[in-house]
Amino acid sequence: MLKIDIRSLSNGVHDLSLTPSPEEIEVSEDKFTDLKLDVRLDIASRRLYVRVKIAATAALVCDRTSVDYTLPVKGFFSVVFVPPEELDGDEERDDLFPLLQGAEDIDLTTIVRDTLLLAVPIRKIAPGADEEDIPTSFGEPTEADLDPRWVALKALKSDSGTESR
């Protein structure tokens, strides 16, 4: 879990640079490496504004060529931790999280993991894969692939061609 201790932080802006392991944010270590987080905490009396910039290297498989490649990915997310009584029960917001009075730390695991996973492109195309020629049919066509009805028609055509001469 990726937790930040907020007990010792005073009101104001605090910048942190973190390099968590993939296990800390609950992602596969063979899919993401070189994780770097820039976290800005803006602490007010009862609120905590958190801005997270994420950079990592993702190990992907190309959708066109099935070649393994790596891609740098970046993401950004902002959230506000507020006292639970300020959360409106009728309205569900992704950017508001409860901050209990006397809380010693905040958990950023879900925020960081989701932001990182959303930074991965939907279509994974390796560099240079667009220029590669992709075969659309495989092997040589065989006579066995012909429908038996066409074989009979082909025989009629070849018979009629020899009679007209």
**Count of domains forming the chain:** 1
CA distance 18 to 36: 6
- Residue at 138 is within a domain: no
**Which range marks the domain in which residue 48 is found?**
3-119
**Among residues 72, 73, 13, 11, which one has the least CA distance to residue 39?**
13
Q: Does residue 129 sit within a domain? A: no
Q: How far is CA 24 from the centre of its chain?
A: 17
Q: Distance between CA atoms of 111 and 79, rounded to whole angstroms?
A: 9
- pTM recorded for the entire structure: 0.69
Say if residue 164's pLDDT is above 70: no
pLDDT digits (tens, 9 = 90+) for 24-56: 889 888 899 999 999 999 988 788 899 999 999
**143: in domain:** no
Read off the pLDDT band of 97 (50, 70, 90): confident
User: Does some domain include residue 75?
Assistant: yes
pLDDT reading at 69 higher than 80: yes
d(CA 61, CA 115): 20
